[in-house]
Structure 1
Amino acid sequence: MLPWIELDSAAIPGEQGNLRLKQRGQEFSIMLGSNELMNSRLSGSEEALATRSFDLFKDRRRPTMLIGGLGMGFTLRAALGVLPEDAAIVVAELIPAVVAWARGPMASVFNGCLDDPRVAIHEGDVAELISSSKRKFDAILLDVDNGPDGLTRRSNDQLYSFNGLRAAKNALRPGGILAVWSSGPDESFTRRLRDCGFAVDVVNTRANGKRGGARHVIWLAKAPHHPA
């Protein structure tokens, strides 16, 4: 078996840990310490984050989507596959090196999707972008961590707090969708979403789609049509 080769590492702003990009043949992995955050062979649940969200707002004209976390581009490519030509997608990525990896060593994985005219890259904190946006997005998709617990970056916890969820609701257009990916269930997060006024559906999905793999969770939270 081919050995893993570390291609690059990148500091996480405000944290002590580093992300590491590794390659084995045509396979890529992004690691945080001993935790594998993503692998180029496993994309099913990240793709479902985009497609299941789109099902809930597909009748809207000129939809605008915010994706928090570029990762390996699974969610972005799936979104491009279903969104109409007049859609707009903003991808917020905090770590510039991740964008560089997408255009460099992982260019074959991304397959030119960053050059799609519907896509704009925002290098910065998705929480700050959400807080500064009012009634702007039809959907906000968050895959910036292993779930609503801030594993990669402790300050990610603010995204999933009551204040963070209220900010997301304010950044959504009436009836918009907040979708959150997680490696596992979290009943307290489900309750927080409902307490913030979202109608919530908790979806179980698999890391490798129909081919199985680890069980992951997606929250599909719909904002009220008539904001308070």
Structure 2
Amino acid sequence: MIPRELLATADVPGGGDPLRLIRRGAEFSIMLGANELMNSRLSGSEEALATLAQARLGGVAKPRVLIGGLGMGFTLRAALTAFGPQAAISVAELVPEIVDWARGPMAHLHQGTLDSAQVQVCVTDVGALIRKGPAQYDAILLDVDNGPDGLSREGNDALYTLAGLAEARAALRPGGVLAVWSSGPDPRFTSRLRKAGFDASEETVRATKSGRGARHTVWIAVRRD
């Protein structure tokens, strides 16, 4: 049996249990208590967050994209491919150690994306960038927790309230897309998206690119004008 090795820990601002970076052979995972938040073998649904959003946005010439949550970099890598070489992508990551891990033990997973001229990494709450001004982004991709019910920190809940969704809508340009990752479905969240002024659909995606593994949920919500 391959042993599990604890590589590092990190406190979540405003959270409870620390994050733990664990390696088991070539596999990495980030844990919060007994919950596995992400695993390097399971990238399919995080990549779908970017590809589904781009498909709904269509052919915007120079899209501006905001990603909430760096994680293991799967969404960022997919976004660079999906949105193309003219895209400008900002990544908001609240926990600075996750950025350090991306440049350290998990650098091979990120494949140099943090050094791309298209990418700006901001160590901050994604909500702060959303509230920075109106009509800033063509797409906002949120993967900052386990879904609309915050797990890692209570402060994330505010993103998914009617007020938080209204702020996201205001930060999008006309026709812009809000995409939200979740470990499972939530019909009440779909309803909130529609009340907040989005045309929303709930997509079921697999955790692995092979089409196997757990089923996760991605909401694709288009700003309604």
- Counterpart of 2:154 in structure 1 is 154
Helix, strand or coil: the match of 1:157?
Answer: helix
Matches within 5 A, 1:94-113: 94-113=94-113
TM-score, length basis structure 1: 0.97
RMSD over equivalenced CA pairs, Å: 0.8
**Stretch deviating more after TM superposition (131-140 or 165-174):** 131-140
Q: Which amino acid aligns with 1:123?
A: V
Q: Which amino acid aligns with 1:97?
A: E
CA shift, 1:111, in A, is 1.2
Helix, strand or coil: the match of 1:55?
Answer: helix
Unaligned runs of 5+ in 1: none
Q: Distance in 2 between matches of 1:191 and 1:57?
A: 21
CA shift, 1:16, in A, is 2.2
Q: Distance in 1 between matches of 2:92 and 2:58?
A: 22
Helix, strand or coil: the match of 2:84?
Answer: coil
Contact persistence 2:4–2:24 (CA under 8 A): yes
Contact persistence 2:90–2:120 (CA under 8 A): yes
Q: Distance in 2 between matches of 1:142 and 1:25?
A: 29
Matched, 1:139 2:134: no
CA distances 1:34-74 after superposition (whole Å, capped 9, x unpaired): 10000000000000000010011231111000000000001
Matches within 5 A, 1:55-204: 55-204=55-204
CA shift, 1:210, in A, is 3.2
Q: Distance in 1 between matches of 2:195 and 2:203?
A: 19
Report % sequence identity: 56
Q: Number of paired residues? A: 225
Contact persistence 2:143–2:182 (CA under 8 A): yes
Contact persistence 2:16–2:153 (CA under 8 A): no
**Stretch deviating more after TM superposition (205-214 or 152-161):** 205-214
Contact persistence 2:44–2:208 (CA under 8 A): yes
CA shift, 1:211, in A, is 3.2
**Stretch deviating more after TM superposition (29-38 or 110-119):** 110-119
Q: Which amino acid aligns with 2:139?
A: A
Q: Distance in 1 between matches of 2:217 and 2:100?
A: 29
CA distances 1:119-175 after superposition (whole Å, capped 9, x unpaired): 000110001111123100000000000100011111100000011000000000001
Unaligned runs of 5+ in 2: none
Q: Which amino acid aligns with 1:105?
A: P
Q: Which amino acid aligns with 2:8?
A: D
Q: Distance in 2 between matches of 1:162 and 1:188?
A: 11
Q: Distance in 1 between matches of 2:166 and 2:193?
A: 9
CA distances 1:57-108 after superposition (whole Å, capped 9, x unpaired): 2311110000000000010001111222111000000000000000000011
- Counterpart of 1:16 in structure 2 is 16
Q: Distance in 2 between matches of 1:133 and 1:220?
A: 22
Runs of 4+ in 1 over 6 A off after TM superposition: none
Q: Which has the higher contact order (CA 8 A, sep 6+)?
A: 2
- Counterpart of 1:215 in structure 2 is 215
